[in-house]
Amino acid sequence: MASNTLHPSRALLHPAWLGSLAVLALNDHVLKGAGLLPPVITGKLSDFAGLIVAPVLLAVLLRVRGFGPWVACHVAVGAVFCAIQLSATCAAGLAALTKMVGVPWVITRDATDLLALPVLALSLWGLLPAMRRSAARNARRSAEAGLASVGLLCCVATSYEEDDCCWDDEDWGTETDGEGIGDDVLPLPSLQADVVLSNATAQGRVVRIRPLRAGVSLDCATVAEAPGSLLRSELFDAAQSWTLPANTNVEVLDHTAGQAPCYAAWVEADALPPHVILWFDGQPPITTVPGEGQTGSAGELALVDRGPDGLGLQAAAGLAFPVDPIDPLEAGECAWQPDAGRLGWSTPVPWGPSRIEAVEVGLDGCLALELSQDGLAPRTFYLCVPQTSFPFAAGDEIEVRLPQGTEPELNALEIVARDEQGEALAMPSLLASAGSGLPTVADVELQAVPLYGCDPTSEPRCGAVERPMKLLVSGPDLDAVELHAGDAPARQGGDGRGVEVTLLHAQERFVLDPACSLGADDLGPDLEVVIAQWPR
């Protein structure tokens, strides 16, 4: 007796589903590449059969029991099918997802495959009666379970390849020859791209392309002077691998005109050393590039066979750069500056009046200030500044505040003393500032100057490209002093006051990944300074 409750597993024995499964397995494992049928037919057979097999398997896995969820399974399969055919991003995303779960797929993108979508209606309505039949016997249920497993394996086998790429050989030629385009395949679609990688060798090659990580900023003019030396692998995202048959092309980066001042990618392949690809927006311009054949255009990177020397890249001057070995870190004033000695403090900041109950120096050199405020229990505030720059002691009344005229690009605080009436005093005081600029201090002139005798270098952990800067300190009653990061604090006396300036960090940045590097989040200066004053 029929029931309104659906049992998708019972559709696994329906002749239409069994026939579709047989077509799927036969087509993918026998017909494709055998030359018995044209590739345009074998390509479509898998789509038609797969759109009958897949919704039932999804419903079985989800234990669907109602008509609404049954419809949702078909909508989900159709939506994914449309997305991967129409969007390279979706196809690459699905390929990456299947690779993460250990079953990497190769996605074939062809908008004409959408002609198979009406088959979903046949599955939706044609298999309903079978799912409403009376309960099956044990033998039948065992057959259903076995067929579900076979169906899953066939669906996986439809797309499984050793390499993770976003096209399969159905678009390029036969699956087994690896020798390029055959005479009976459809022409490859054209590309809208400025820079393309072209396989000019006699056989298929696996190439890997890595775009810059999201958020990485480049000073294009500086980087263009030595891309292979300045751009480290740490700056680039995970590789997208492509199986590129002979005489075919693929775009290096999918982007729009005006998206950035310049673009960079990391390209490598088996037997090809890593290369950095760098070009400016519009140079070369985005044009229509054929999907196959070398064009000789300004944006073509031709992968060529150099015999015993492996593979090479032939490109227009100023486009492809072999990655240089990383030189040992320089010593002295030109060396990159480590993050260990940076300025810092804990949050939340105890803004307002406080009393210092105790001052302790930690093993990391930071100060632990035990502060008490009216009506609140004592709390510890950590401040990482040189001990000699802290002009206060236990028992002092202080106020923590923002420095006057603080610029938006600065992260700064100021600590000043208070008199017996609770009024803030000009001295003693401590000002700590970090950011892309310098604070304004009365009667103290500060100027940051790049060390032009030092070449920009790459920092090893995050790949930031930096050049050291120095700080010039002067004032109406102060002698001019030149400070470098790591120098001892510059202490001198003026008209009724003592001044101590410490430069903790000073660099000019040309490449930056803010998600990795500490300090300022923008290209340009990255400065950290502490200024202490006290009455003489």
Q: How confident is the model at residue 375 (pLDDT cuts 50, 70, 90)?
A: confident
Amino acid 329: pLDDT: 63
Comparing 139-153, 159-173, 397-411, which segment has the lowest mean pLDDT? 159-173
Query: Are 242 and 198 a contacting pair, CB within 8 Å?
Result: no
Query: Are 357 and 370 a contacting pair, CB within 8 Å?
Result: yes
Amino acid 237: pLDDT: 92
Q: How confident is the model at residue 146 (pLDDT cuts 50, 70, 90)?
A: low
Amino acid 536: pLDDT: 78
Q: How many residues does the chain have?
A: 536
Alpha carbon distance 445, 531 (integer Å): 11
Listed in order, strand segments (DSSP E) in 181-286 are: 191-193, 196-199, 205-211, 217-218, 240-244, 249-251, 262-269, 272-280
Percent of the chain with pLDDT strictly greater than 70 = 83
Q: What is the pLDDT of residues 218-265, one digit of tens each?
A: 999 999 999 999 999 999 999 888 888 899 999 999 999 999 999 999
Amino acid 32: pLDDT: 66
What mean pLDDT do residues 491-499 have?
A: 83
Q: What is the pLDDT of residues 407-465, one digit of tens each?
A: 777 889 999 999 888 888 888 999 999 999 999 888 899 999 999 999 998 888 899 99
Comparing 88-102, 155-169, 291-305, 322-336, which segment has the lowest mean pLDDT? 155-169
Amino acid 142: pLDDT: 47
Q: How confident is the model at residue 502 (pLDDT cuts 50, 70, 90)?
A: very high
Amino acid 508: pLDDT: 96
Q: How confident is the model at residue 35 (pLDDT cuts 50, 70, 90)?
A: low
Q: How confident is the model at residue 175 (pLDDT cuts 50, 70, 90)?
A: very low
Query: Are 291 and 191 a contacting pair, CB within 8 Å?
Result: yes
444 compared with 148, residue with greater pLDDT = 444
Of the chain, the end-to-end C-alpha distance in Å amounts to 103
- The encoded tokens of residue 469 equal 């800067």
Torsion angles phi and psi, residue 125, rounded to 5:
-95, -35
Amino acid 200: pLDDT: 93
Amino acid 154: pLDDT: 54
What mean pLDDT do residues 472-477 have?
A: 90
Amino acid 167: pLDDT: 40
Closest CA to 305 of 348, 265, 249, 246: 246
Q: How confident is the model at residue 191 (pLDDT cuts 50, 70, 90)?
A: confident
What mean pLDDT do residues 393-417 have?
A: 88
* Preceding amide of 274 cis, omega within 30: no
Amino acid 330: pLDDT: 66
Q: What is the pTM of this model?
A: 0.65
Amino acid 326: pLDDT: 73
What mean pLDDT do residues 370-379 have?
A: 86
Alpha carbon distance 533, 492 (integer Å): 10
Supply the mean pLDDT for the chain.
82
Amino acid 184: pLDDT: 40
Judge whether residue 27 has pLDDT over 80.
Answer: no
Judge whether residue 344 has pLDDT over 70.
Answer: yes
Torsion angles phi and psi, residue 445, rounded to 5:
-100, 130
SS3 label, residue 198:
strand
114 compared with 35, residue with greater pLDDT = 114
Q: How many CB atoms lie within 10 A of CB 528?
A: 26
Q: How confident is the model at residue 93 (pLDDT cuts 50, 70, 90)?
A: low
Query: Are 171 and 250 a contacting pair, CB within 8 Å?
Result: no
Q: How confident is the model at residue 96 (pLDDT cuts 50, 70, 90)?
A: low
- The encoded tokens of residue 113 equal 């495959």
**Residue spans per domain, the chain:** 8-170, 187-322, 397-535
Question: To the nearest 10°, the Cα dihedral for 475, 481, 487, 488?
Answer: -70
